[in-house]
């Protein structure tokens, strides 16, 4: 019988103290295997053991009323409900599935007491903001807010009646069996206050969450006078979004419907306004909504790290916990190939299809269609053959952001909106017209393997050391 997770954690903790060497515990596996729950158990055990040691060392001055858990340990434990609320959701296999990976580094001083902590995240499934399958849900926080907000909060946050009033939420399940979203909301708010969030910060966070939900209710139609120009169907929803984000409605709609782009001509440079059709305007709104939530999540993690940082306490070593789904060395599939194509400025849909054919033409599940076929490739799934057209895949996968809207968000009247978008220009897609043609360039940042260097060097406690390079 394999050892209990507490035994594994205790071994890592003792090895760290005795050998003065960093340790890492890897929690991997498929969805629903128990990675997140085991991660919580690891943190709980370390907080208890270190808290007990701190209590003995300092005579209880650093401990709470239980006599075992100090304030830093309590904040570390309360960080998890916050991450779960904003980063977990219901899937077909798991009612509380983490939709992101994380590496938690718990730092210890020479006596074995916790001296600080740091959280790194990667691969947040931001597409879940837009759509889910019929048996899944969006991130927990959306439903917690709608069920748990007070009447005053509902009024100030401009919330709709229920989850089915939001297009982004209406495709999936609205409730979770055995879970009271209102109770969960109160627990999340309490956790945020324990960690150190101010009420003004919490209110600003909830305003952005409300705005993200409302983005899905913005509707466009094609202008009957101009075939290439979209128009806003009703500005009521857009006005709510602008109120929540501290923006001007007229400026935002102009940025979405007629963005200003730079045109390079033979002599000089000038800006022109390019009309957006209904599909382009909708795509632009969806890209901004996904990016807003991802940036909010990144800011939340940074804010948690600020509370958990104890720079005045000397850290000697750490125990790292890696919570990540799936195989650590996945094969080069269709989506991985698409991601690679997006890294090259000259990449296109044709090149993507050609790379797929070169890599998988001998695979029994991959089919190169007939010459006259309208599809670009086909895959034999469990239910049968499915033909795919790759047109537009690259651009959609890159999530190009409307630079005009990003400029407005950076000048928002809301300090938190400005904060999460302050580096928007660095990773925002630059849309430029060169010789009257549009080319897309993506500046890549935030590579996904954060914390990999530390994990490579650390000691794995599942019976063997971590092999160097296993995360590269």
Instruction: Determine contact, residues 131/123, Cβ cutoff 8 Å.
Output: no
Q: What percent helix, strand, coil does the chain show, rounded to 5?
A: 45, 15, 40
Span 5-212+303-329+449-460: which CATH code? 3.40.850.10
Q: 294 pairs with which residues across the strands? A: none
Boundaries of CATH 1.20.58.530 in the chain?
Answer: 334-394
pLDDT (tens, 9 = 90+) of the chain, 472 residues, equals 566 899 999 999 999 999 989 999 998 877 778 888 999 999 999 998 887 776 555 554 444 434 445 788 899 999 999 999 999 999 988 899 999 999 999 999 888 889 899 999 988 999 999 988 888 999 999 999 999 999 999 999 999 988 999 999 988 888 888 899 999 999 999 999 999 999 999 999 999 999 999 999 999 998 877 778 999 998 999 999 999 999 999 999 999 999 988 775 544 567 888 899 998 899 999 999 999 999 999 999 999 999 998 776 678 899 999 988 765 455 678 888 888 888 777 788 889 999 898 988 889 999 988 877 888 999 998 888 999 999 888 877 877 889 999 999 999 999 999 999 998 765 554 433 322 222 222 222 333 333 444 444 444 433 333 333 322 2
Query: Residues 13, 319: contact at Cβ < 8 Å?
Result: yes
Question: What is the distance between the terminal CA atoms of the chain, rounded to a whole angstrom?
Answer: 32
The pTM of this model reads 0.81
Residues contacting residue 1 through CB under 8 Å, at least 6 positions apart: none
Which is nearest to 68 in space by CA: 97, 47, 95?
47
CATH 1.20.58.530 assigned to 334-394: yes
Residues of the chain with CATH 3.40.850.10: 5-212+303-329+449-460
Tokens 């999530």 sit on residue: 399
CA gap 314, 322 in Å, rounded: 23
Binding residues for ATP: 29-36
List residues forming the annotated binding site: 29-36
Q: How many CB atoms lie within 10 A of CB 433?
A: 16
Number of CB atoms found within 10 A of residue 412's CB: 18
């Amino acid at each position: 019988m394999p050892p209990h997770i507490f035994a594994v954690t205790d071994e890592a903790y003792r090895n760290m103290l005795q050998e003065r060497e960093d340790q890492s515990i890897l929690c991997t596996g498929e969805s629903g295997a128990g990675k997140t729950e085991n991660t919580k158990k690891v943190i709980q055990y370390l907080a208890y053991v270190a808290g007990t040691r701190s209590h003995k060392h300092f005579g209880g001055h650093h401990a709470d009323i239980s006599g075992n858990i100090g304030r830093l340990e309590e904040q570390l434990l309360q960080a998890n409900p916050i991450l779960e609320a904003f980063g977990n959701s219901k899937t077909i296999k798991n009612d509380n599935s983490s939709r992101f990976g994380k590496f938690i580094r718990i730092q210890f001083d020479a006596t074995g007491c916790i001296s600080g902590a740091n959280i790194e995240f990667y691969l947040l499934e931001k597409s879940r903001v837009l759509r889910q399958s019929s048996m899944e849900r969006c991130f927990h926080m959306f439903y917690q807010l709608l069920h748990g907000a007070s009447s005053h909060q509902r009024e100030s946050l401009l919330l709709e009646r229920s989850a089915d009033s939001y297009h982004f939420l209406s495709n999936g399940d609205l409730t979770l069996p055995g879970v009271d979203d209102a109770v969960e909301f109160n627990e999340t708010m309490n956790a945020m206050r324990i960690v150190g969030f101010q009420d003004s910060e919490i209110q600003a966070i909830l305003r952005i969450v409300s705005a993200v939900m409302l983005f899905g209710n913005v509707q466009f139609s094609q202008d009957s006078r101009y075939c290439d120009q979209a128009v806003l169907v009703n500005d009521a929803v857009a006005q709510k979004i602008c109120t929540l984000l501290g923006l001007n409605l007229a400026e935002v709609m102009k940025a979405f419907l007629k963005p200003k782009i730079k045109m390079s001509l033979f002599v000089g440079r000038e800006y022109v306004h390019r009309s957006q059709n209904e599909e382009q305007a909708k795509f632009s709104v969806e890209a901004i909504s996904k990016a807003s939530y991802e940036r909010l999540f990144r800011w939340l993690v940074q804010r948690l790290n600020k509370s958990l940082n104890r720079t005045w306490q000397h850290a000697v070593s750490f125990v790292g916990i890696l919570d990540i789904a799936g195989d650590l060395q996945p094969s080069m599939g269709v989506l991985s190939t698409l991601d690679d194509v997006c890294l090259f400025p000259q990449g296109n849909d044709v090149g993507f299809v050609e790379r797929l054919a070169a890599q998988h033409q001998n695979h029994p599940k991959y089919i190169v269609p007939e010459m006259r076929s309208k599809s670009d490739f086909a895959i034999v799934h469990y239910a049968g053959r499915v033909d795919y057209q790759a047109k537009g895949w690259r651009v959609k996968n890159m999530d190009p952001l409307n630079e005009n809207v990003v400029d407005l968000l950076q000048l928002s009247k809301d300090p938190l909106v400005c904060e999460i978008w302050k580096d928007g220009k660095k990773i925002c897609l630059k849309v430029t017209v060169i010789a009257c043609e549009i080319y897309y360039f993506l500046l890549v940042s935030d590579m996904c393997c954060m914390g990999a260097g530390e994990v490579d060097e650390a000691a794995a406690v599942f019976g063997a050391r971590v092999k160097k390079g296993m995360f590269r």
